[in-house]
Amino acid sequence: MSVPAFIDITEEDQASELRAYLKSKGAEISEENSEGGLHVDLAQIIEACDVCLKDDDKDVESVMNSIVSLLLILETEKQEALIESLCEKLVKFREGERPSLRMQLLSNLFHGMDENTPVRHTVYCSLIKVAATCNAIAFIPTDLDQVRKWITDWNLDTEKKHTLLRLVYDALVDCKKSEAAAKVMVELLGSYTEDNASQARVDAHRCIVRALKDPNTYLFDHLLALKPVRFLEGELIHDLLTIFVSAKLAAYVKFYQSNKDFIESLGEYSLNVFIGFNAFIQTVRTKMVYCKIDQTQRKVVVSHSTHRTFGKQQWQQLNDTLCSWKQNLATVKSSLQTLSPTA
């Protein structure tokens, strides 16, 4: 993409103009370019650009875009440290202030780089951090398929992949996007193996608690298959999850009576799965049950329901139902042929 420049001159003159501008704003920087080349000039300019960020005048965006444009013409091997330095300043400096400007600069940098450049990972993480401070995550691409593609394109190691997914998850949670956050957390936990599942203990615990707290989540069986969650077997949080997946109210009441302090430590979470008329209303609202009320006979007639868990027993039940349908259709066809041989 085309990034706006400070002024239409050579790179060396542009660096010199930037030095002079920063010097005029009080920065401790020489107006003379370094003999080490453009990457050394940029290192010194980025180090001194705090004074520019302090300003609210109209030149700030042009000056910062000039720095970005110079970064983008450097050789890839010289970019990484400088980009990391600039990203750190844009994330931390005056945190919470002028987020739109900081996001615009990071976006210019992100989209101006080659798609497969690994240091794009640093810029993307910085974008997420800034967006999370101002509830602007909706303006950052967080689609899981796209994030998976970037992880592959940037050839991220396991640690960076986990850090990236965790960052996206936290940002989505802070912005109240619980459904998208849950998908990212499942992706994160699903990336662990038997060998490193123990390292995800905290993430697995958070995943379970947030799922139980979410009033729109009623199906939890997929969590039990995740290796980090299985690693929690024997702990109270895993026992509670198992109750929500397959047990009934009596099991929860017994668990609660034995572990009141633990339940209270989790804070408020969705017990509507188990409790009363509110649970019925929520269940209908989420289309887990299709039914109608027979006021005359004072009962609810259920025409369709969704299983809380779908395992071997449910697959067998589905198979039996389909086989029964097949037999019934064969009987109907036979009857029709008896009435009309051409049917």
> Which runs of E-coded beta strand occur in the chain?
289-294, 299-305
Instruction: Output the pLDDT for position 160.
Output: 93
Which phi and psi angles does 199 have, rounded to 5°?
Answer: -75, -15
- Low pLDDT (below 50) residues in the chain: 1-2, 4-6, 270-273, 275-278
Predicted pLDDT of residue 120: 94
What residues have CB less than 8 Å from 228, skipping those under 6 apart? 189, 192, 197, 198, 200, 201, 203, 204
Cα distances (angstroms) measured from residue 307 to each of 219, 222, 232, 313, 330: 8, 13, 24, 11, 29
| Angle in degrees, CA 158, 161, 167, rounded to 5 | 140
- Tokens 């956050």 identify what position? 181
Dist. CA 108–CA 72, nearest whole Å = 10
pLDDT at 297: 73
Give me the pLDDT at residue 6, please.
47
Output the pTM of the full model: 0.73
Closest CA to 192 of 219, 161, 233, 148: 161
Position 215 scores a pLDDT of 72
